[in-house]
Amino acid sequence: MLVFSIVPLGLGLAIKTLFGNTRLSKSLFVFMVCISVWQMDVAILFANRYVSTATIDFLFRLFRFGTIMLPAALLYVTYVIYQEHVDRRKLSAGWQLLINRGMLQTFGLWCLTVYAAGWTSGSIRSFIVVQSDKTAGFLFPVYGDWSWLFKAHILFFFLAIGVCLHLSRKVTSGPTRSFLTLFGVTSIIAYTVGMVNMSPNSGLYPSSIAVLIFAIAVFTAFCVMHSRVVREMNHALFEQKEFLTRVIDSNPNLIYARNGEGRLTLANLSLARMLGRRKEEIIGRTPEELWGSPALAGQEAIDQPDNGAGQPNREERVTDAEGKERWLQTACVPIDISNTKQWLFVSNDITERKEFEKNITHLAYHDTLTGLPNRFSFHTDLVGLLSPPSRTVALLFLDLDRFKIINDTLGHSIGDLFLTAVADRLVFLMEDRGRVYRIGGDEFMVTLQDGGEEKAVSEAKRILDSFQRPFYVNEHELFTTTSIGISVSSDDGGDLESLMMHADMAMHRAKAEGKNIYRVYNQAWDSRSERKMLLEKELHKALLKEEFILHYQPQIDLATGEMVGAEALIRWSHPRMGLISPGEFIPLAEETGLIVPIGEWVIKEACLQARKWREAGLPPIGIAVNISPRQFNKPDLVETILGIIEQTNADPRYLELEITESVAMFDTEQVMEKLDKLKSRGIPIAMDDFGTGYSSLSYLKKLPIDKLKIDRSFLVEVTPENANDNASIVAAIISLARNLNLRVIAEGVENAEQLEFLKAHRCDEGQGYYFQRPVPSEELEKLLQKRAAG
């Protein structure tokens, strides 16, 4: 009899082992354990030959746990399936109240109560010996007055089976529904057979039959259910795979996957079409085999260590099956399939976008009429040509002499064709000698490098000679001449503005002297040239003779009225010429390159003065120092400034560097690199004269600046009542700065009305004669002492 108890226990372990540690497999294992203990309880009654009646009495009452808890185990299996496979919204409120965790716990408590009652004499009074012809007999329990508890328990068992069968109709999964139905029916049959054991004449054998029926039927039903579920899942997976295959095949993007060896494990129709192959021919091959080169850049993503975040989008150029060049933007995401690392790629064809960007870029840098590089391209190229200050660059500024007559007489369409013909001839003439630009209207510019004035004059003569030949436009034979102005960087200064201005002056000189000629810029044309030469001579000595001094103009917090900083302004006190205006000697210093050592002196002097005030115990304020374009373009700018700070033991937080818009505009990458290094050392950066140059908002967002400085020209005639253009510009700059989390300071505050306007628009700081004129360091020190005492 004991052998029969091993069968359900073994099958329960098999369910738990074969089908995993799911809630259903665990609940069925508990159910099988109860069946096994039930049979052990019956088997112990046959042990009267080996142990005492008292021992059998104890073990029988103990093992009745299996029989008593079997209904609870059955209801628990039903509850698990109910939670996972029944749509509760389709059950009535009564059934939802009946099937829940609380009811399950209540029923379990009832079973424990019945089990506990089994330990009393009111439940089982004694045992009688029942003789058998085939065996040595067995003990049979004699029930007491509380036997009605067991009968009620049997009734509850059948009620639990009824709940099981009812809920089986609500199960959404077909295999699970069949299992639960078979589980309930088998429970009825098995328990009905087991009930025959209540008569001693049965010999207690029906329980063994019931246990076998129960265990084998439940195990078989569960295996069948699991097999059907697996088949349905496989079928669903197959359908899902087919669906996803159709989805990715209908996607115009190129979708493919590669394994660790770089071979394709997935490819959609778009990729196959681009390669001119069938999908089956692609799978299992590498890009090298398909393209002849590591195209689509997938190997780089595979070779890089995986951080789980995927790779950034990358753009690459490939050639399709028709030999056409195509641009792709590819995203790469690492995925794990069956513990094997793969990479999923999605490539979007951006060929049209690239062509559009190319056209937009071309339009931005080229004249739409002639196709020549335009004014913007000229400015950009000229900055590059002048970047090595030692390089000689010549400009030829051409202005057509009779274009207005042609345009007015023959119309704008002929005029446009004529300008195109002029552009073509100039390009043909220059070839590799120089580059031709259309600056606007009938003005052209030619840049020459490495040749100086002699080469520029030679090319100007060739151009003038070529204009002696007629231009043929729509059967019109047209003649024109041109006036050419020449400037050379080695003679006229190395900055863009001077070079262009001098070429323009020379061109107008050529027009004034009769046209159809060239003129080279001559400094003698400038009435100030003699003084300029004198100043240049004296400027070289000024640093050595310590003729420069710094004045400081306070910067005021408009909200509190407190002085929070000061701008260091250089002054040249010459022993014979007196105080020379910065507006006169600063441009000269820029042209001669002396601005670099002068600018370094200003930084060092400002740092020394700031340290002196700090050591005197005065409240620290920021000292703003202007950095000129030429000074900023020095390769060792950052090292120079950091060296001065270290040498003077200054606090970098209180040295504010002001750069102009023209500095920020050109060679943005170099500018950002320098500013990032300075900013990383705690040095604040301000953009000076904001709104007067060429600032792009995209550059402004990228540059690591802390403050915008509104140029004094915008504050002219600005009052709260006078809503002129300047007022609108100032308000817009303040709003822009606040949106970019930048502080904003206005210079040139001259009166109370301007101050009131700035306060109304929440400007952070102000600077100007209304607050304080620039003063020597001694007077600013007194202001700091007054602030400290106040």
- Compute the average pLDDT of residues 292-313: 54
How far is 600 from 590, CA to CA, in rounded Å?
A: 13
pLDDT bracket for residue 319 (50, 70, 90): confident
Which residue in this structure is represented by tokens 């078989």? 220
The tokens for 120 are: 């009393």
Neighbour-count burial of 360, counting CB atoms closer than 10 A to its CB (0-12 exposed, 13-18 middle, 19+ buried): exposed
Q: Are strands 775-776 and 548-557 parallel, antiparallel or unpaired?
A: antiparallel
DSSP string, 174-233: HHHHHHHHHHHHHHHHHHHHHHGGGSGGGTTHHHHHHHHHHHHHHHHHHHHHHHHHHHHH
- Alpha-carbon dihedral 715, 721, 724, 727, rounded to 10 degrees: 40
Over residues 735-753, the mean pLDDT reads 92
DSSP string, 577-621: TEEEPHHHHHHHHHHHTTHHHHHHHHHHHHHHHHHHHHHTTPPP-
Cα separation of 673 and 736, whole Å? 24
Residue 297 has pLDDT above 60, yes or no: no
Radius of gyration of the chain (CA): 48
Distance CA 454, CA 490 (A): 12
User: Mean pLDDT, to the nearest integer, of 530-549?
Assistant: 81
Pairing of strands 622-626, 563-574: parallel
**In sequence order, what are the residues at sequence separation of 6 or more whose Cβ sits closer than 8 angstroms to the Cβ of residue 669?**
none
DSSP state, residue 403: H
| CATH H-level superfamily of 253-354 | PAS domain (3.30.450.20)
Strands 548-557 and 563-574: antiparallel
Phi, psi angle pair for 717, to nearest 5°: 60, 20
CA dist 131 and 137 (Å) reads 4
Distance between CA atoms of 94 and 117, rounded to whole angstroms? 31
Q: What are the backbone angles phi and psi of residue 390, rounded to the nearest 5°?
A: -80, -10
Rounded distance between C-alpha atoms, residue 10 and residue 32, angstroms = 9
CA distance 220 to 224: 6
297, two tokens:
């850049």
Average pLDDT over residues 264-293: 82
Q: Bridge partners of 138?
A: 130
Question: What pLDDT score was predicted for residue 531?
Answer: 65
How far apart CA 579 and CA 711 sit, in angstroms, is 24
637-654 mean pLDDT? 94
Q: Which segments within 602-729 are labelled E, that is strand? A: 622-626, 655-660, 685-690, 707-710
| SS3 labels along 736-748 | HHHHCCCEEEEEC
Mean pLDDT, the chain, integer: 84
* Residue 302, pLDDT score: 52
Identify the CATH homologous superfamily for domain 366-526: Reverse transcriptase/Diguanylate cyclase domain (3.30.70.270)
- Pairwise pLDDT comparison (404 vs 624), residue with the higher score: 624
Q: How high is the pLDDT of residue 384?
A: 85
Residue 9: band (very low, low, confident or very high) from pLDDT cuts 50, 70, 90: confident
Spell out the SS3 assignment of 464-478.
Answer: HHHCCCCEEECCEEE
Q: What are phi and psi of 687, to 5 degrees?
A: -100, 115
Helix (H, G, I), strand (E, B) or coil at 553: strand
List Cβ<8 Å contacts ≥24 apart for 751-758. 753/718, 753/719, 753/720, 754/715, 754/718, 754/719, 755/558, 756/719, 756/720, 757/718, 757/719, 757/720, 757/727, 757/730, 758/558, 758/730, 758/734
Q: How confident is the model at residue 549 (pLDDT cuts 50, 70, 90)?
A: very high
Give Dmax (Cα) for the chain.
Answer: 148
The pLDDT tens digits of the residues spanning 143-202 come to: 888 888 888 888 888 888 888 888 888 888 888 888 888 888 888 877 777 677 677 766
pLDDT value, residue 287: 76
- The residues near 350 (Cβ < 8 Å, ≥ 6 apart) are 315, 327, 328, 329
| Residue-by-residue DSSP string for 162-176 | HHHHHHHTTBSSHHH
Collapsing DSSP to helix, strand or coil, 262 comes out as coil
Tell me the torsion sign for CA atoms 379, 382, 388, 394: negative
Q: What is the C-alpha separation between 48 and 51, in angstroms, rounded?
A: 6
Q: 578-580 and 655-660 as β-strands: parallel, antiparallel, unpaired?
A: unpaired
pLDDT at 444: 96
- Range in 414-423, 592-601, 710-719 the model is least confident about: 710-719
Q: Which long-range contacts (CB under 8 A, 24 or more apart) does 426-433 make?
A: 426/398, 426/463, 427/372, 429/462, 429/463, 429/466, 430/459, 433/459
> How sure is the predictor about 305, in pLDDT bands with cuts at 50, 70 and 90?
very low
Q: Which of 154, 118, 123, 133 is nearest to 203 (CA)?
A: 133
- The rounded distance, in Å, linking the Cα atoms of 400 and 334 is 63
From CA 452, how far away is CA 449, in angstroms rounded?
A: 7
Cβ atoms 520, 506 nearer than 8 A: yes
With CA atoms as reference, report the closest residue to 655 among 682, 689, 637, 628: 682
Q: Which residue has the tokens 């995993």?
A: 20
pLDDT at 390: 67
Whether residue 299 has pLDDT greater than 60: no
d(CA 87, CA 91): 7
Backbone angles phi, psi at 293, to 5 degrees: -155, 160
Nearest to 167 by CA among 222, 234, 96, 230: 96
Collapsed DSSP state (helix, strand, coil) of residue 97: helix
Using alpha carbons, list the distances in angstroms from residue 54 to 47, 61, 120, 136, 226.
11, 11, 14, 18, 45
Pick the most confident of 53-62, 230-239, 249-258, 415-424.
415-424
pLDDT computed for residue 292 by the predictor: 58
Of 310 and 287, the one with more pLDDT: 287
CATH classification number, 2-230, choose in 1.25.40, 1.20.1070, 1.10.10, 1.10.3470: 1.20.1070
pLDDT band, very low/low/confident/very high, at 394 (cuts 50, 70, 90): very high
CATH number at 536-713+742-755+764-789: 3.20.20.450
Query: For the purposes of burial, counting CB atoms within 10 Å of the CB of 477, is it exposed (0-12), middle (13-18) or buried (19 or more)?
Result: exposed
Range name among 286-295, 403-412, 698-707 with the lowest pLDDT average: 286-295
Name the β-bridge partners of 283: none
CB 99 within 8 A of CB 82: yes
Q: For residue 502, which amino acid is it?
A: H
C-alpha of 610 from chain center: 41
Spacing of C-alpha 659 from chain mean position = 30
Angle, CA of 17, 165 and 202, to the nearest 5°: 80
pLDDT at 494: 59
Q: Show the tokens assigned to 623.
A: 């000292």
| CB under 8 A, 24+ apart: contacts of 609-614 | 609/550, 609/777, 610/650, 610/651, 610/654, 610/655, 611/648, 611/649, 611/650, 613/781, 613/784, 614/651
Domain boundaries in the chain? 2-230, 253-354, 366-526, 536-713+742-755+764-789
Higher-confidence position of 478 and 49: 478
Q: Whose CA is closest to 638, among 624, 619, 657? A: 657
Structure tokens at 155: 């009734």
**At residue 684, does pLDDT exceed 80?**
yes
